[in-house]
Amino acid sequence: MDDMKEALDKAASSADQAVRNMALRYREMQQEFTQYEAFFAIYKQGVGINGSATAARPPVKGRTPVAKVTTPAQPRADRTDSFSVAMQTILTEHGQPMKLNELHAAYQARTPDDPTSSNTFRQRLIKRRGMVVLIEKRGWWWADAPLVDNAEGEPNG
């Protein structure tokens, strides 16, 4: 094995470009082969009942494992910010679903200190998808409010 290493070192320092390239490619292929061996070692040991590998993957040289930090995400439907309160007030006072441009105009009239573009306003609504729902061909509506659909005042939905 030492003879092979010496031959590769000699080839890597050769004056001939083709010989140098061959030596470098040979070393790259050795590294690739080592990665395949590690994969096959895991594969040979099999997969557990729950679908996870029964053996741990060997660590990659030069990398240190990083611990993942996860924070519990707050559900979007639990927000009580000023935008959500304004949406609830506007929609329940209006009494029926509103188109995006109508709802945006009502919000701008109610909160002149918060100038938002139509696109930003739409994105804010989408972030509150659990609180505000889009009813097809009718518009946006507050999810918890009963929807009155006809003249008799019977709740629908």
Q: Does 82 lie in the same domain as 61?
A: no
* Alpha carbons 8 and 11: distance in angstroms, whole number: 5
pLDDT of 150 > 60? The answer is no
pLDDT at 15: 85
Q: What is the pLDDT of residue 147?
A: 75
What is residue 77's DSSP assignment? G
- Specify the number of domains making up the chain: 2
* Same domain, yes or no: 26 and 9: yes
Mean pLDDT of 96-124: 86
Within a domain: 149: no
DSSP sequence for 98-156: B-HHHHHHHHHHH-TTS---HHHHHHHHHHTTTTEEEETTTEEEETTSPPB-STT--B-
- Measured between its terminal Cα atoms, the distance across the chain in Å is 78
Tens-digit pLDDT profile for residues 54-95: 556 666 666 665 665 555 545 455 557 788 888 888 888 888
Whether residue 130 contacts residue 143, with contact meaning beta carbons closer than 8 Å, is answered with: yes
Overall pTM surpassing 0.85 (yes/no): no
Q: How confident is the model at residue 153 (pLDDT cuts 50, 70, 90)?
A: very low
DSSP E strand stretches across the chain:
132-135, 139-142
Residues 1-57 have pLDDT tens digits of 678 778 878 887 888 888 888 888 888 998 999 998 888 887 777 655 555 655 566
> Are 55 and 114 contained in the same domain?
no
Strand (E) or helix (H) holding 65: none
Number of neighbours of residue 143 by Cβ within 10 angstroms: 15
88 and 37 assigned to the same domain: no
Single residue among 18, 45, 67 that ends a domain in this structure: 67
Whether residue 62 sits in one domain with residue 89: no
Residue 151 pLDDT > 50: no
Residue 43's nearest CA partner among 31, 53, 58, 33 is 53
Same domain, 51 and 1: yes
CATH of the domain at 129: 1.10.10.10
Domain of residue 26 covers 1-67
* Cβ atoms < 10 Å from Cβ of 34: 12
Residues 132 and 91: beta-carbon distance below 8 Å: yes
pLDDT, mean of residues 97-114? 87
